[in-house]
Amino acid sequence: MTDSTQKKLTRRRFLKGSLAVGGALAVGGTGYRLASDALGRDYDPARGEALLAGIQPGDPGTLPNLIVIATDDLGYGDLGIYGSRAIRTPHIDQLATEGMRLTNFCSSAPLCSPSRASLLTGRYAIRSHVALTFYPAGSPMDLIFRIGGVYPHGVRGIPEDEVLLPELLQRRGYRTALLGKWHLGDRSPHLPRENGFDYFYGAYFSNDMDPYVIYRNEEVEIEPPVDQNVLTQNLTREALSFIGENQAQPFFLYYAQPFPHTPLHASEAFRGRSAAGLYGDAVEEIDWSVGQIMDTLRDLDLDERTLVIFTSDNGPWWEGSPGLTRGRKNLPFEGGFRVPFIAHWPGVIPAGTVSDAVSMNFDIYVACLAAAGIPLPDDRIVDGQNLLPVLTGEASALHETLYYYKGKRLVGVRHGDWKYLRRHMTDNGGYASLSQGPFLFNLATDPNESYDMIESEPEVAARLAQMLDDWDAEMEKNVRGWR
């Protein structure tokens, strides 16, 4: 055997051995991560089953109807009642003049999936391991997130042991429906009708994700490409039909409007009508949709028996107005979190009232349970508080402290008028990709977070920074919040 032949064989053996070792390490690493993910999820489905078994049916004659309208990426300043001069929203504005408008209402996250998880569970989304946006199973982003271990503990849908608002309302005797955007999983057991909804018409994901499919329950209703120009029209038709069919019994309608998330669409009747381009046209068609729902409630004499809530899942993305707040979607500044909130319930919520009570979208969960006479779950921490006394004028304050998450990371805390943000990527022009801060803002005197007060108020900054460390430590011990 020549020296060159021996060298080739040696090199070949080395490469084969390296590949074998690398493969074994990859398999072992993947196996370790899967085992670690499964253990870290801390799933306990029996809790949810036991909790639901304890819910008693209510008297249909006394239970109010509940409608939650949650738009997608609508900004704090995109409604007339919140100061927009470019977009006309007379029907939504009328909700506020006949009900209550909140000025310090926030989403629990500056992006889709975690915000929706909080609304439906009454908890910070991190407790559900829903920290990031979900992508369609098998899509490039889904594969990247899965391979990279980006999803917390590999969770790709709302966990089975979370007890969602519609599940509790179902047991109470409500007929429940989800129209529009789900965004909490596209595979069993994470589908809408496996999580409390009797009826589903809409899409599993945002309208920019492929394949974008419209389902009626589990059956495909509209194959791609979906004509999104008529999407609001179709959803409005379904909403009016659901209300009409269930007028003789209590119902819960979760109308998760897919707009004004991009790509923007509006029907021919609304294109070119606003002074805010296609974005404004889409919002004005949403306003029309809300008007159709309210007219139907009045025509069926259901107005005074129905609590209607209108809000958004987070701040605006590429377009839209965050009002006088700083930042927008996916940023921890107020523009990413602060959203419109209007509640309407004639005879219960005083007309034309405004509240600056600090609140968050998981409070909707608690308010709806209170309205339906359902006790709060006692086997888990519920982060939301009962918003109803604020809406009825019996209380003027709600939360003293709220925490801000960006993805899996706790980045900020609001305590009273003070807001503290850890170092994070910001909106600072050419330096947006670099971390900035920490920052301390006084939201009472500086609502658009323009002036850092750390040097002026070091003790306040230190106290709030410690609150973040303490919260992180508490969540590490019991992130699921089991009791």
- The reported pLDDT for the residue numbered 364 is 98
**Environment class of residue 113 by beta-carbon count within 10 Å: exposed (0-12), middle (13-18) or buried (19+)?**
buried
CATH fold of the domain at 409-477: Arylsulfatase, C-terminal domain (3.30.1120)
Q: Is 183 a catalytic residue?
A: yes
Percent of the chain surpassing pLDDT 70: 93
In one letter, which amino acid is 60?
A: P
Looking at 3.90.76.10, 3.40.1180.10, 3.40.720.10, 3.40.1160.10, the CATH number of the domain 46-400 comes to 3.40.720.10
Please state the domain extents for the chain. 46-400, 409-477
Catalytic residue among 129, 153, 183, 261: 183
pLDDT in tens, 405-461: 999 999 999 999 999 999 998 988 888 788 999 999 999 999 999 999 999 999 999
Q: What is the pLDDT, as a whole number, of residue 26?
A: 46
* Burial of 203 from C-beta contacts in 10 A (0-12 / 13-18 / 19+): buried
**pTM surpassing 0.85?**
yes
pLDDT at site 431: 83
Q: Do domains 46-400 and 409-477 have the same CATH topology?
A: no
Active-site residue flag, 106: no
Cβ count within 10 A of residue 312: 27
Q: What is the pLDDT of residue 189?
A: 96
pLDDT of residue 353: 98
Among 91, 112, 344, 399, the one annotated catalytic? 112
Instruction: Please give the average pLDDT of every successive group of 10 residues along the chain, which has 483 residues.
Output: 59 63 52 70 93 96 98 98 98 98 98 98 98 96 94 96 98 98 97 98 97 97 98 98 98 98 98 98 98 98 98 97 96 97 98 98 98 97 98 97 97 98 90 90 97 98 98 97 96
